[in-house]
Structure 1
Amino acid sequence: MDRIILHCDLNCFYASVEMLSHEDLRKIPVAVCGDPASRHGIILAKNEPAKKLGVQTAETIWQAKKKCPDLVLLPPHHDLYRQYSRMVNAIYEQYTDLVEPFGIDESWLDVTGSIHLFGGDPKALADKLRERVKREMGLTLSVGVSFNKVFAKLGSDYKKPDATTVISRENWKQLVWPLPVGDLLFVGGAAQKLLHQYGIDTIGALAACRQDMLSSLMGKMGLQLHEYANGLDREPVRSRENREPVKSIGNGTTFPENLTTAEQVHNSIAVLADSVASRLRHAGLYACGIHVTVRDPEFHDRSRQKQLSSPTCLIRDLAAAATELVFALWKPPFPVRMLTVTAIHLLPAEDAYEQMNLFTAALAPNREKQEKLESAMERIRGKYGTGAICFGTTQLENEEDPLA
């Protein structure tokens, strides 16, 4: 028996949420964007009138304004978007316990085991969900209905806004194979360019490729994409209790002005490491590795990663490792536009034991004190706000005793 998978995609989500409190702007071009003064000046979302004028997500504000001089720009309200996302997913969970969010505005639903409770017609259920979200939330959905996750997502993208598309066993080749290969899940810009060099521009052409050719070009990913193109995706919809473990936790920032000195870069790494360590503790995870990315004003990225000597969630350890990697990639006064620090190879706290030796055993009490200190900082921040307390960068530099 085939599965029945729905992919629900909230249309123009950020902009649609903003329109709920800006009814007067609903019929004119509007975009939600980052702060131009902080150089986060890209389009995060746009409404339908802006979309019709060619405004695209992720393009710069000046590019969007060139297409649409009268474009109204609104700042983002991420807490509000998360709130609406939770409310919409709560509606989905009334129809199945197998709901898997894919970003803040998309979710897969596996209704195979519950469809009989709602009339037995997958398209009718998708239409009911669209009507209910519109009535209760004021937001519109596009829904794809299919027998696997990849085709369900293709269905939600096939017709927008506020539409249901069914990709079935009977029609999937007619609907899917003529589509551009870039429409397939996980075929990004680089993969698209590579495939184009070999005349593979549609999903059908990808499906017809020899597997050994794709394997030599793209490794395991090539074989996976070949399965997707041939309707062979078997990936389950994962419930809240059965999510894949978190593989990395990172934080990056684009600076209002380029960094050019060692002190500026060092201080920025310390702030990013603080954020990453906090998120690790909240998730109950320890990092066994660190990854950094340095971006210059021409948007060229350089990255490096390393294994840590022992699992950690300490600001000091993360900052020290990240600093070592960044300064191996960068030398002042070369300008830095953006930095990213990411904790990788994560372990649950109960598995993050450390193999002691004669030299590391002496440092264990200090590590324990540091963990207690950082946990106390988290409690203060939870009560008084994230800016209530932070480490000085000089303390992060003190490797022998972080409490000195």
Structure 2
Amino acid sequence: MERVIFHCDLNSFYASVELLSHPELLAQPVAVCGDPESRHGIILAKNESAKAFGVKTAETIWQARKKCPRLVLLPAHHDQYRLYSQKVNAIYERFTDLVEPFSIDESWLDMTGTLHLFGSDPEAVADQVRRAVREELGLTVSVGVSFNKVFAKMGSDYKKPDATTVITRENYRELLWPLPVTDLLFVGQAARRALAEYGMRTIGELAAFDRETLGRLLGKQGYTLHDYASGTECSPVIPARDLPGPKSVGNGFTFPRNLTGWEELQAGTAALADEVAARLRRHRLKCTTVQVTIRDPNFRDICRQKRLDAPTHVSRDIAGASMGLIRASWREGAPVRALTITGQNLVAEDQAAEQLDLFAAGAAPRRDKLEKLERAMDGIRGKFGRDAISIASTVEAAGSEESNGRGTP
């Protein structure tokens, strides 16, 4: 049976979610950005009106405003983006139980076994998916329909916004092979240059190249890219429940101003550790190692690790270990531009046996109480938002730092 794969890509996702709260801005060019006052004042997302002015993701705010002086800037609300991502995927799961998130705003759906429940025409069913998302959540989605995951993704990119594109065995050569190789999944500038050396500048030229020769030239990547271009890729859609868990969970901040002194570093460390611990609890994991990466104003990094006495997903434990590493490896008063804290060597929380300290018999009960406290905080934040409750030592830091998005979403 020929597979039927959808790739669903939410249009201008961050900006679209923000505009749900600002309908008066729908007709104006809008961008979501980092703090304009910080050194990370960059464009994170933009709506279609801003795109028409040439505004691009990852460019600086001053570059974007040079192109579009009337650009309206809105701050990012990442908790809302995660919430709407979950809502959208819940809609997808009404059509099939085989839904594989690719990013916060993209998912593959394997419709092979369920298409007949909604009709025999894949394009019409894709339109049903788009209509459900638009009517229930106020967001638009572009859907690519094809016989494999790579071509389905290229279909969702082919026509935007709010469109369905069907790529079949009959039309993929006409639609996709004239496109530049950089339109193919995972072909960046380094791969583009390598392929261009052998005369492959379009997807069609890549597909026409001898597969074995390409494999000898580029190794495993050569075989993979040839399969992508020629339409022979056949990887399965793996639902989120079956995807492997993260190997590490981390979070980093780049500060609007350099931090100096233990007190400022303690506040920044507490905020980072709080987020890392919350993410570990979401994945039902504990870390047995904490790693700290410190960056100075000259972009020099140092990295230190520490094995913990017991597995944990408690922010106080992670913050304490992190601050211990900082004090041991950093000169007091030396400026810090950025910090990253990562929990490593993860174990499932129900398998995290603790080695009891005979000289600190109360350690495990105290940790159990802290776990219950922080899970209660998770519940409050899930209902009322991330800012509804904070650990006291993170309150000051929360207003002075900007997440760089590292780590598990």
**CA separation in 1, counterparts of 2:372 and 2:226?**
51
The alignment's TM-score, normalised by the length of structure 2, stands at 0.79
**CA separation in 2, counterparts of 1:352 and 1:376?**
16
Where 1:102 maps in the other structure, the secondary structure is strand
**CA separation in 2, counterparts of 1:343 and 1:378?**
17
**CA separation in 1, counterparts of 2:223 and 2:301?**
28
- The 5 Å alignment of 1:313-392 reads 313=312, 314-315=314-315, 318-319=318-319, 322=322, 335-353=335-353, 362=358, 365=361, 367-379=363-375, 381=377, 382=379, 385-389=388-392
Query: Which residue of structure 1 aligns with residue 88 of structure 2?
Result: 88
Query: Which residue of structure 2 aligns with residue 284 of structure 1?
Result: 284
- The 5 Å alignment of 1:40-189 reads 40-189=40-189
Where 2:62 maps in the other structure, the secondary structure is helix
The alignment's TM-score, normalised by the length of structure 1, stands at 0.80
For structure 1, the residue ranges without an aligned partner over 5 or more in a row are 393-404
Distance 1:274 1:72, change over 3 A: closer
Quote the offset at 1:222 in angstroms.
5.1
Distance 1:316 1:15, change over 3 A: closer
The letter for the 2-side match of 1:229 is: A
Quote the offset at 1:335 in angstroms.
4.4
Distance 1:353 1:206, change over 3 A: farther
Quote the offset at 1:37 in angstroms.
3.1
**CA separation in 2, counterparts of 1:46 and 1:8?**
19
Task: Work out whether residues 289 and 305 of structure 1, in 8 Å CA contact, stay in contact via their aligned partners in 2.
Answer: no
Query: Which residue of structure 1 aligns with residue 402 of structure 2?
Result: none
Which piece of structure 1 moves more, 124-133 or 328-337? 328-337
Task: Work out whether residues 280 and 286 of structure 1, in 8 Å CA contact, stay in contact via their aligned partners in 2.
Answer: yes
**CA separation in 2, counterparts of 1:267 and 1:250?**
17
Query: Which residue of structure 1 aligns with residue 4 of structure 2?
Result: 4
Query: Which residue of structure 1 aligns with residue 398 of structure 2?
Result: none
**CA separation in 1, counterparts of 2:269 and 2:191?**
32
The letter for the 2-side match of 1:69 is: P
Distance 1:188 1:340, change over 3 A: farther
**CA separation in 1, counterparts of 2:17 and 2:375?**
32
Query: Which residue of structure 2 aligns with residue 397 of structure 1?
Result: none
The letter for the 2-side match of 1:377 is: L
Distance 1:197 1:339, change over 3 A: farther
Where 2:70 maps in the other structure, the secondary structure is coil
Quote the offset at 1:197 in angstroms.
6.2
**CA separation in 2, counterparts of 1:328 and 1:221?**
42
Quote the offset at 1:47 in angstroms.
1.1
Quote the offset at 1:350 in angstroms.
3.3
Distance 1:371 1:193, change over 3 A: farther
Task: Work out whether residues 85 and 105 of structure 1, in 8 Å CA contact, stay in contact via their aligned partners in 2.
Answer: yes
Which piece of structure 1 moves more, 255-264 or 94-103? 255-264
Quote the offset at 1:168 in angstroms.
1.8
Query: Which residue of structure 2 aligns with residue 401 of structure 1?
Result: none
Distance 1:341 1:96, change over 3 A: same
Quote the offset at 1:194 in angstroms.
5.6
Task: Work out whether residues 181 and 203 of structure 2, in 8 Å CA contact, stay in contact via their aligned partners in 1.
Answer: yes
Which piece of structure 1 moves more, 147-156 or 261-270? 261-270
Distance 1:77 1:273, change over 3 A: closer
Corresponding residue pairs, total: 383
The letter for the 1-side match of 2:106 is: E
Percent identity between the aligned chains?
55
Quote the offset at 1:135 in angstroms.
3.4
The letter for the 2-side match of 1:372 is: D
For structure 2, the residue ranges without an aligned partner over 5 or more in a row are 382-387, 396-409
